[in-house]
Amino acid sequence: MVIATYRFPSGVDAGRQAEIIAIGQTLGSADARFAGREQALAACRGQVLEVRADGDGARAQVAFPAANTEYDIGTLLTMVFGKYSLAGPARLVDLRLPPDFGTRPRFGIAGLRARLGVAGRPLLMAIFKPALGLTAADHATLLRAVADTELDLVKDDEILGNLAQAPTRERLRACRPVIEAIRDRRGRDFLYAVNVTGRADTLLATARALVAEGANALLLNVLVYGYPMLEALARDPAIGVPIIAHPALAGALALAPDHGIDYALVLGRLMRHAGADVVLHPARFGSLPFSAADESRVITALTDSDDHWPAVFPGPSAGIKPAIVPALLADYGRDLVINAGSAIFDAATGPKAAVESFFAAMDA
């Protein structure tokens, strides 16, 4: 079974709405016109498990047969919240899934640590800055500026697509010799997450071509392209590299308090069950408004103990500076990918010294 929890604000009849969800999101009709089909219809029907007060509103739990889905995130979301999301004030705040539901991350925390040969500390990732206006050769120049550090990953900015100023393959070709030199120097891997963009009918082929040309990690704007695209990338045997999920558009789904889907699902459980290895999210200490409670729930959803499903890396982002690293580690431990752009590539001290400042902050 899939168990979904909804929160309704004051003034909404939560019990009635839960019954509407249980029928409307499964059978779609309570009219039993098909004699002899009662058992089959009952097997598809949602069931209200609980309705209880919650502050000035109420919560309701509804159980759905997992067999109503194709065990993917697309049919899951269509079932638990699809049409009903248009019905008025209601927020999807939790999902409990069967052990085998979704697409497993290829790496997760354990696999990515093994791939990079890093244990016992957070991973550090840089973002190429400026985001736009650079050539492929400029990207290689930026990468050479941090080549003598212990930086673990670098990624494209999510805004940068396959643009004429620096086509994706040209960026990869320009950076590959630097990546290989970094790997040879320190005897462990270094990842460059290339932003995969384009129309849906070409995106998988683009990702395969990039990996065939040497891309060793991918960045995907998951909420723009959809969880099913993330699942397709994570399942494809011709890809097989770590996938970093960017949170672009998450606020449109999660920010309104009485509508949408909770951040812990949008950036947490759903990303983890769609195959992401690293999920970027705003840090409460950073430049975007993000509450401590939201950040804690996202990180818990990505890393909590689950015997059936790998934990994946949270990636605190947006305005990350060395000064806030000790607080991040104190709150959430060391299973983090610390993600910084301007604080590295725009640092007055230069990118190399900035990276070293982040590592010093980890040891503070």
Is residue 138 located within the same domain as residue 78?
A: no
Q: What does the pLDDT profile of the chain (364 residues) look like in tens digits?
A: 999 999 999 999 999 999 999 999 999 886 667 666 778 888 999 999 999 999 999 999 999 999 999 999 999 999 999 999 999 999 999 999 999 999 999 999 999 999 999 999 999 999 999 999 999 999 999 999 999 999 999 999 999 999 999 999 999 999 999 999 999 999 999 999 999 999 999 999 999 999 999 999 999 999 999 999 999 999 999 999 999 999 999 999 999 999 999 999 999 999 999 999 999 999 888 788 889 999 999 999 999 988 789 999 999 999 899 999 999 999 999 999 999 999 999 999 999 999 999 999 999 7
What is the residue whose two structure tokens read 């007060």? 53
Those residues with Cβ within 8 angstroms of residue 257's Cβ, 6 or more apart along the chain or in another chain = 91
Query: Of 73, 96, 119, which closes a domain?
Result: 96
Q: Which residues are the active-site residues?
A: 83
13 with 47, same domain? yes
Tell me if 55 is assigned to some domain.
yes
* Separation CA 16–CA 19 (nearest Å): 5
**What is the dihedral sign for C-alpha 228, 251, 355, 168?**
positive
CATH of the domain at 56: 3.30.70.150
Whether residue 145 is found in the same domain as residue 86: no
Q: Is residue 328 part of a domain?
A: yes
> For position 28, what pLDDT does the model report?
87
Nearest to 193 by CA among 297, 265, 279: 279
Tell me how far apart the alpha carbons of residues 184 and 86 are, in angstroms, rounded to a whole number.
54
DSSP conformation class of 67: G
Residue 74 lies in a domain: yes
- Give a yes or no: residue 346 inside a domain: yes
Query: How many angstroms separate the CA atoms of 69 and 271, rounded?
Result: 18
Asked whether residue 171 falls in the same domain as residue 254, the answer is yes
Q: Are residues 31 and 71 in the same domain?
A: yes
N-terminal to C-terminal alpha carbon distance within the chain: 46
The total number of structural domains in the chain stands at 2
- 332 domain residue, yes or no: yes
Are 158 and 315 a contacting pair, CB within 8 Å?
no
- Note whether 130 and 266 are same-domain residues: yes
Asked if residue 121 and residue 66 are part of one domain, the reply reads no
**Residue 31's pLDDT is what?**
66
Predicted pLDDT at 36: 67
Same domain, 81 and 149: no
What pLDDT was estimated at residue 248? Answer: 97
Whether the CB-CB separation of 208 and 231 falls below 8 Å is answered with no
Q: Do 255 and 171 belong together in one domain? A: yes
Residues 92 and 112 in one domain: no
Q: Which of 96, 116, 132 represents a domain boundary (last residue)?
A: 96
The whole-angstrom separation of Cα 191 and Cα 170 is 17
Three-class SS of 2-23: EEEEEEECCCCCHHHHHHHHHH
In a domain, 102, yes or no: no
Q: Are residues 130 and 72 in the same domain?
A: no
Is the full-model pTM beyond 0.75?
yes
Q: Is residue 103 part of a domain?
A: no
- Same domain, yes or no: 210 and 87: no
| Domain assignment present for 101 | no
Query: What is the spatial distance between Cα 302 and Cα 298, in angstroms, rounded to a whole number?
Result: 6
* Residues in CB range of 357: below 8 A, 6 or more apart: 322, 347, 349
Cβ contacts of 40 within 8 Å, gap of 6 or more: none
Q: Nearest 5 degrees, angle CA 312-CA 318-CA 321?
A: 100
Rounded to the nearest 10°, the torsion over CA 182, 205, 279, 347 is 40
Choose one of 39, 65, 96: the last residue of a domain: 96
The two tokens of residue 197 are 């963009």
pLDDT of residue 243: 98
CATH number (domain holding residue 165): 3.20.20.110
Q: Domain range spanning residue 173?
A: 108-362
Three-state SS for 314?
strand
CB contact burial 219-229 (16+ within 10 A = b; e otherwise): bbbbbebbbbb
State the residue for tokens 């949408």.
Answer: 260
